[in-house]
Amino acid sequence: MTLRVRPVMHLIDGQLEGDESSFNVVNPSTGHACATCPEASRDQLNRAVVAARRAQPQWAATTPTERRELLCRLAGVLRENQAELAALITLEQGKPLARALDEVQRAAAQIERLTSIVLEKELLRNDSTGRVELHFRPLGVVGAITPWNMPIVLAVPKITHALYTGNTIVLKPSPYTPLATLRLGELARYVFPRGVLNVLAGGNEFGQWMSEHTGLDKISFTGSVATGKRVMASAAVNLKRLTLELGGNDAAIVLDDADLKTAIPKIFAAAFANSGQVCMAIKRLYVQDKVYEQVCHALAELAGSARVGDGFEPDVQFGPVQNRPQYEIVKGILEDVARDRARILAGGHALDRAGYFIAPTVVADITEGTRLVDEEPFGPVLPILRFKEVEDAVRRANDTCFGLGGSVWSRDIDRAASIAARLEAGVSWVNHHTGADALVPFGGAKESGIGREYGKEGLRQYMETVSVFIPPDR
Ligand code: NAD
């Protein structure tokens, strides 16, 4: 499909700005440039930060109800423009159009759920010695940096957390997928007062300028562990508050009493959704001896019959890997798998067509100590590991620097829940894997992140906690 992309612009202080400088955006389904995107300069960043600082006190003086109203208007804007935004996501990110539509709709719903949380002070103590209250004050200006796997559903919650809590924001999407996010900024131009929401496209260097900018009070970053560490180092310059939502290498443990009929399609979806490019996808599947072969073959069958293609083609289940460097990483991992003599049950190769397509791949008889198991592949490749004793599975699942999510699958819910509670992760599930609920904190343990997004806990990380001691009434 040929989609005419109208030029997108940065949103700075309520004005749309183009640029002398620009870069190409590549459609991963063809490998060819599909649009150009303006590239913001350091001067434009400085102006966006100044505008956000100027707008912040007045924005913070509005009530949470007023801010909720405007944010819900943004949810309406997302829904009214979902067809255009979804088409941009499919064009630049590659996912099937139906999944892109779902992404926009989920983003709109997240706004409504997150802003349904009541922001109020908390009473800690009230006795003869007096009252102690916790008050929450906005931090100031938030810098938000997002990755390429889910451009809209990762950007919109950052806008919501920041604005609902009385901060203003400067947002930068990934240079691989800037179009839908810049378009969102354009559409939101008249929703918020000038300077409250600023959206600028730029490369990795632009992200670094943000991380070290002393005019920003917090960085909310979603991306890889390696970049997260760089952000943390740069942010030290003014001790910025940080939320880091980083990579994962989630383990799922399938016990031999699991209900495989319902588990297998769910596991397949949780491993291969968005062609494996989901932070909390299942990336290591541990299966108990007795059901190992059955699980392997059922998943291989689903992978082998999956429809892979350009996200604009009808009935496509999975799109390409989003960019060439990531495509090369996944292909390198597949070469290692072949060299390690693991058993490839489905896929194992790139598709013979233009674009960055990898056949959904299921690998059995593989162990720790291989790249596929130890690293985050972030592509459509699932290793299946065998275990006999549950203790062994838990130890191996936890033997990683990652700690985003994990799951346990069994008919015995209580037993599964007690095993799931031992996974060293920020989120765990029983008979399920993936999915974020705006009312529930989400984030990583260990090197998968710092802090949480969503829920009251997530909102509070966009605010300073102030302890207020009040003497008793006379
Ligand atoms: P990435 O770290 O390469 O890039 C993410 C963003 O950081 C981009 O906007 C990029 O331009 C910017 N950036 C690059 N260098 C920077 C620097 N020095 N300072 C500041 N910003 C910089 O990540 P990616 O490849 O775009 O995304 C994939 C990764 O994101 C995977 O590891 C995935 O697991 C992770 N992810 C995590 C979550 C989560 O919620 N935990 C969600 C989605 C993706």
pLDDT 10s digits, 75-121: 999 999 999 999 999 999 999 999 999 999 999 999 999 999 999 99
List strand residue ranges (DSSP E) for 197-342, in order. 197-199, 218-222, 241-245, 250-254, 282-288
Q: What residue ranges do the domains of the chain occupy?
A: 10-246+446-467, 250-430
Q: pLDDT of 119-177, one tens digit each?
A: 999 999 999 999 999 999 999 999 999 999 999 999 999 999 999 999 999 999 999 99
**Amino acid identity, residue 366?**
I
Label residue 6 by pLDDT band (50, 70, 90). Answer: confident
351: CA distance to ligand 1 center in Å?
26
135: CA distance to ligand 1 center in Å?
32
**Amino acid identity, residue 169?**
I
Query: Helices (H), strands (E): how many in the chain?
Result: 15, 20
The candidate with the shortest Cα–Cα distance to 67, out of 104, 106, 116, is: 116
Label residue 473 by pLDDT band (50, 70, 90). Answer: confident
171: CA distance to ligand 1 center in Å?
13
Strand partners, 409: 254
Which residue is catalytic, options 37, 92, 103, 279? Answer: 279
First to last CA, the chain: 75
Please state whether the predicted TM-score (pTM) of the whole model is above 0.85: yes
* Whole-number Å distance between alpha carbons of 80 and 457: 30
Our mutation pick for probing the ligand 1 site, out of 45, 146, 174, 206, counting the most ligand atoms within 8 A of Cβ, is 174
Q: Which residues neighbour 271 within 8 Å (Cβ) at sequence distance 6 or greater?
A: 281, 282, 283, 285, 299, 382
- Ligand 1, atom 26, lies closest to the CA of 147
Burial of 120 (0-12, 13-18, 19+ CB in 10 A): exposed
Q: pLDDT of 293-326, one tens digit each?
A: 999 999 999 999 999 999 999 999 999 999 999 9
53: CA distance to ligand 1 center in Å?
25
- Ligand 1, atom 11, lies closest to the CA of 204
| pLDDT higher than 90, residue 2 | no
* Whole-number Å distance between alpha carbons of 414 and 419: 9
227: CA distance to ligand 1 center in Å?
6
User: Ligand 1 atom closest to Cα of 145?
Assistant: 9
* Whole-number Å distance between alpha carbons of 326 and 110: 29
Burial of 221 (0-12, 13-18, 19+ CB in 10 A): buried
Q: pLDDT of 254-266, one tens digit each?
A: 999 999 999 999 9
* Whole-number Å distance between alpha carbons of 364 and 342: 6
The candidate with the shortest Cα–Cα distance to 278, out of 149, 375, 447, 118, is: 149
450: CA distance to ligand 1 center in Å?
14
- Ligand 1, atom 30, lies closest to the CA of 223
308: CA distance to ligand 1 center in Å?
25
At residue 1, the pLDDT reads 55
- Pull the structure tokens for residue 195: 């300077």
Q: Whole-number mean pLDDT of the chain?
A: 97
At residue 381, the pLDDT reads 98
- Ligand 1, atom 19, lies closest to the CA of 208
Half-sphere exposure in the Cβ direction for 352 (13 Å, CA): 0
Our mutation pick for probing the ligand 1 site, out of 149, 154, 221, 321, counting the most ligand atoms within 8 A of Cβ, is 149
* Whole-number Å distance between alpha carbons of 182 and 29: 21
247: CA distance to ligand 1 center in Å?
8
Burial of 9 (0-12, 13-18, 19+ CB in 10 A): buried
Label residue 446 by pLDDT band (50, 70, 90). Answer: very high
How many Cβ atoms sit within 10 Å of the Cβ of residue 177?
Answer: 29
List strand residue ranges (DSSP E) for 237-326, in order. 241-245, 250-254, 282-288
Q: Radius of gyration (Cα) for the chain, nearest Å? A: 23
Strand partners, 468: 133
The H-or-E segment that residue 33 falls in is: strand 32-38
In this structure, is the dihedral angle defined by the CA atoms of residues 253, 256, 258 and 263, taken in order, positive or negative?
Answer: positive
Eight-class DSSP state of 318:
B
- Ligand 1, atom 13, lies closest to the CA of 204
* Whole-number Å distance between alpha carbons of 207 and 198: 14
* Whole-number Å distance between alpha carbons of 290 and 409: 14
Residues with CB under 6 A from ligand 1: 145-149, 154, 172, 174-175, 203-204, 207-208, 211, 222-224, 227, 230-231, 245-248, 279, 376, 378, 404, 444, 449
Half-sphere exposure in the Cβ direction for 243 (13 Å, CA): 29
Q: What is the DSSP string of 398-443?
A: HSSS--SEEEEE-S-HHHHHHHHTTS-SSEEEES------TTS-B-
- Pull the structure tokens for residue 52: 């956000």
Which residue is catalytic, options 39, 92, 245, 453? Answer: 245
Our mutation pick for probing the ligand 1 site, out of 224, 327, 400, 427, counting the most ligand atoms within 8 A of Cβ, is 224
For β-strands 218-222 and 10-12, DSSP reports them as: unpaired
Burial of 341 (0-12, 13-18, 19+ CB in 10 A): exposed
Q: pLDDT of 372-430, one tens digit each?
A: 999 999 999 999 999 999 999 999 999 999 999 999 999 999 999 999 999 999 999 99
Q: Measure the CA dihedral 458/463/467/472, to 10°.
A: -90
Collapsed DSSP state (helix, strand, coil) of residue 176: coil
The candidate with the shortest Cα–Cα distance to 264, out of 242, 292, 290, 240, is: 292
Which CATH homologous superfamily contains domain 250-430?
Aldehyde Dehydrogenase; Chain A, domain 2 (3.40.309.10)
- Pull the structure tokens for residue 417: 């829940």
| pLDDT higher than 90, residue 20 | no
User: Ligand 1 atom closest to Cα of 245?
Assistant: 41
* Topology, domain 10-246+446-467: Aldehyde Dehydrogenase; Chain A, domain 1 (3.40.605)
The H-or-E segment that residue 34 falls in is: strand 32-38
- Ligand 1, atom 15, lies closest to the CA of 204
Query: For the residues 39-61, what does the mean pLDDT come to?
Result: 98
Q: pLDDT of 52-64, one tens digit each?
A: 999 999 999 999 9
At residue 60, the pLDDT reads 98
Work out the widest C-alpha separation in the chain, in whole angstroms. 82
Percent of the chain with pLDDT over 90: 97
- Ligand 1, atom 42, lies closest to the CA of 279
182: CA distance to ligand 1 center in Å?
17
User: Ligand 1 atom closest to Cα of 174?
Assistant: 9
Q: pLDDT of 195-225, one tens digit each?
A: 999 999 999 999 999 999 999 999 999 999 9
Label residue 341 by pLDDT band (50, 70, 90). Answer: confident
Strand partners, 244: 221, 450
- Ligand 1, atom 34, lies closest to the CA of 247
Instruction: Tell me, yes or no, if 245 is annotated catalytic.
Output: yes
